Amino acid sequence: MLINISGRTDIVNYYSEWMFKRFEEGYVLSRNSLFPNSVRRYELTPEKVDCLIFGSKNFSPVLGRIHEITERFPAYFYYTITAYGRDVEPGVPDIDTSMETFRALSRIVGSRRVAWRYDPVLLTKEYTVETHLETFERIAKGLSGQFDRCIFSFVEMYKKHETNFPELIPLTAEDKDRIAEGLGRIAAREGFILQTCGPEADYAKYGIHTSGCVTLDILGRANGLEFRKLKHKGFRKGCHCMESRDIGALNSCLNGCKYCYANKNAQLPRENFALHDPESPLLIGHLKPADRLEDGAQKTFLAKSSFLGHEKGEAHG
């Protein structure tokens, strides 16, 4: 199975002490976001986890210790760096700082195991099509040779954006095409793989790939693993990613990104962060008397040849 750290919140940036504690103790509890009294236990051991999926906008809090995990587990890292400043992403470091941290992470874990995410792409009066293309090229040049591929997507419009992000300008099909053509041209010139995430249009004519961004093929090639040929169920309609188990929690990310889908509003994350205990096996709070605790299913996706090596505890540095 795959463990996701995390699509629901930026664990690496704000909860790294808890994360390392969970790996030290060898298990984690995850509360179901739809049925809050349902809690699953997942073993964090090389025998039970095929690969770890890390996603963050700031890996600096873990640079000094991430080897403790990558020396034991196969892993792949998704590092998001966009064009936005603190007006859109209040808790995210500036672009230059982010690029410096990105390069440091790549040196530690290897460029083949790091992907750059440039998403979501959105428009405001300040962040125009031209701004995106200029910033994308700047970041691409600054990270040259430091990543496996780049992934982008366009912002999804949610009802709450009317309140949380009123300056957002809806993207037209023409806007998307101009941006895709420009990003594709830059990627071709700089010599890296560019692909979309989720249910975007087909931009193959611009050299842009459409495969999922968390696929067994990507994870396998990056870590020298052979997976079985399995169907990628995806996380939503149009998604081609392999299913994983997310150990994060909604409404707990302090990055404060205005476009965020995982936070209902700006206040809830602060309230939940106050309930966080680094010693608890749950990210937010503790087990309650009414909770139903069950073992989560942890079936391997590995082919037999890789699984045997996995059982022997071979390192993946």
State the CB neighbour count (10 A cutoff) for residue 271. Answer: 11
pLDDT over 60 at 309, yes or no: no
Spell out where the chain has E strands.
2-5, 27-31, 38-43, 51-56, 75-80, 114-121, 149-154, 194-196, 245-246, 292-295
pLDDT for position 94: 98
pTM of the model as a whole: 0.94
Sign of CA dihedral 110, 112, 113, 116: positive
pLDDT for position 312: 47
pLDDT in tens, 6-48: 999 999 999 999 999 999 999 999 999 899 999 999 999 999 9
pLDDT for position 150: 98
End-to-end CA distance of the chain: 20
C-alpha 305/C-alpha 178 separation (Å) is 45
Q: What burial letters (b/e) apply to 179-208, b meaning 16+ CB within 10 Å? A: bbbbbbebbeebebbbbbbbebeebeebbb
pLDDT for position 236: 62
pLDDT in tens, 42-67: 999 999 999 999 999 999 999 999 99
Contacts 24+ apart (CB under 8 A), 205-208: 206/180, 206/181, 208/180, 208/183, 208/184
C-alpha 136/C-alpha 133 separation (Å) is 5
C-alpha 279/C-alpha 277 separation (Å) is 5
Give the mean model confidence (pLDDT) for residues 117-144: 98
Give the mean model confidence (pLDDT) for residues 105-120: 98
Closest CA to 162 of 252, 251, 259, 263: 259
Give the mean model confidence (pLDDT) for residues 215-224: 95
Q: pLDDT tier at 310 (50, 70, 90 boundaries)?
A: low
